Amino acid sequence: MNTAIHSMSRVLFGVVGAALFVSSGAALAQSTDPILERIKAKGTITLGYRESSIPFSYLNDDRKPVGYAMDLCLKVTDAVKQRLQVPALKVDYIAVNPQNRIALVANGTVDLECGSTVNTLGRQAQVDFSAPHFISTTRLLVRKGADIKEVEDLNGKAVALPINTTPERLIKALIEAKKLKVRIVPVKDNSEGFLALSTGRVDAFSTDDILLSGLRKSAPVPLDYEVVGRPLSFDPYGLMLQKNSTVFLSLVNATIARSVRSGELNASYDKWFTPLDVPMSKDLAAALKLAALPE
């Protein structure tokens, strides 16, 4: 095993292992927790969704939140109904974005965030994450025919970066380290980033590659755009929830484990990612195997 693969394996094991240890071991010490108590008291579970994180969480033509992460959160909702014995549990939806998603989860406004949020050490100080349900990397979306293949090609050009995201910090650090002259255009979300690219305000938009593929697929003429560049990061996505709710976290991870073992999660992946021509990566397959704990 080469050094890069060994390093990736340790990171992946750490992410999954930490989530599963917290959710299984600590949960044994208590029978309920703040999130479940809040849900039961309200008779409602509140799910946070993204408006344009295709195919994880976005609004369809009927303005209804749908996507791969939304499907998984609805499976968690079914598990909560059984756990609390509240079959008529209501579901409320709250739109979140990169600027407010962590705060809304941390303060309890959102019970479970169903989007495309990367699990990082810094964020773990404020919120908890489920086991990974996707692995992404940072790349670039450009107009086809543009003379841009890598970050280094942005020298003298403009790039849109989503505020308060892992790609924003990464690309800024690379620009500084390589002493590139790049004009950075901050955007609030993916749709604004794509708008900046499609209208010529910027030469590239950088965020998670899978989100870029979703934006490209939804463009009026997808062939006008391409996702380029070497993988710049290793970013595990997790469902996000308030800290110190170990029973609820255990329930979320158990839902993921059972969905993997039953084949439901793979079917959901095929449903949402096949139209984007994105087969499941070896990294994600490994992550899901680790998450699929036996009963």
DSSP-assigned letter for residue 240: E
Check whether residue 41 and residue 105 sit in a common domain.
Answer: yes
Could you read off the pLDDT of 197-225 as tens digits, one per residue? Answer: 999 999 999 999 999 999 999 999 999 99
Contact 138, 167 (CB under 8 A): yes
Check whether residue 165 and residue 266 sit in a common domain.
Answer: no
Give the per-residue pLDDT at 31.
Answer: 58
Radius of gyration over alpha carbons of the chain, in Å?
Answer: 19
Domain end (from 228, 253, 274): 228
Check whether residue 224 and residue 238 sit in a common domain.
Answer: no
Check whether residue 88 and residue 153 sit in a common domain.
Answer: no
Give the per-residue pLDDT at 14.
Answer: 52
**Percent of the chain at pLDDT exceeding 70:** 89
| 40-56: b (≥16 Cβ within 10 Å) or e | beeeebbbbbbbbbbbb
Two tokens at 201? Answer: 């305000």
Check whether residue 105 and residue 241 sit in a common domain.
Answer: yes
Burial level of 148, CB count in 10 A (0-12/13-18/19+)? buried
Give the per-residue pLDDT at 106.
Answer: 98
Torsions phi, psi for 64 (to 5 deg): -105, 135
Q: Give residue 164's domain range.
A: 142-228
CATH number, residue 181 = 3.40.190.10
Check whether residue 173 and residue 127 sit in a common domain.
Answer: no
Could you read off the pLDDT of 31-49 as tens digits, one per residue? Answer: 579 999 999 999 999 999 9
Domain end (from 178, 203, 228): 228
Reply yes or no on whether the pLDDT at 25 is more than 80.
Answer: no
Check whether residue 50 and residue 148 sit in a common domain.
Answer: no
Domain end (from 213, 228, 243): 228
Give the per-residue pLDDT at 32.
Answer: 75
Reply yes or no on whether the pLDDT at 17 is more than 80.
Answer: no
Check whether residue 186 and residue 285 sit in a common domain.
Answer: no
Check whether residue 103 and residue 32 sit in a common domain.
Answer: yes
Reply yes or no on whether the pLDDT at 23 is more than 50.
Answer: no
Q: How many domains does the chain have?
A: 2
- Neighbouring residues of 223: CB distance < 8 A, sequence distance ≥ 6: 144
Reply yes or no on whether the pLDDT at 276 is more than 50.
Answer: yes
Burial level of 143, CB count in 10 A (0-12/13-18/19+)? middle
Check whether residue 38 and residue 169 sit in a common domain.
Answer: no
Check whether residue 149 and residue 97 sit in a common domain.
Answer: no
**Percent of the chain at pLDDT exceeding 90:** 89
- Neighbouring residues of 43: CB distance < 8 A, sequence distance ≥ 6: 86, 88, 89, 90
Check whether residue 258 and residue 180 sit in a common domain.
Answer: no
Could you read off the pLDDT of 121-138 as tens digits, one per residue? Answer: 999 999 999 999 999 999
Band of residue 58 on the pLDDT scale cut at 50, 70, 90? very high
Reply yes or no on whether the pLDDT at 6 is more than 50.
Answer: no
Stretch 100-112: mean pLDDT: 98
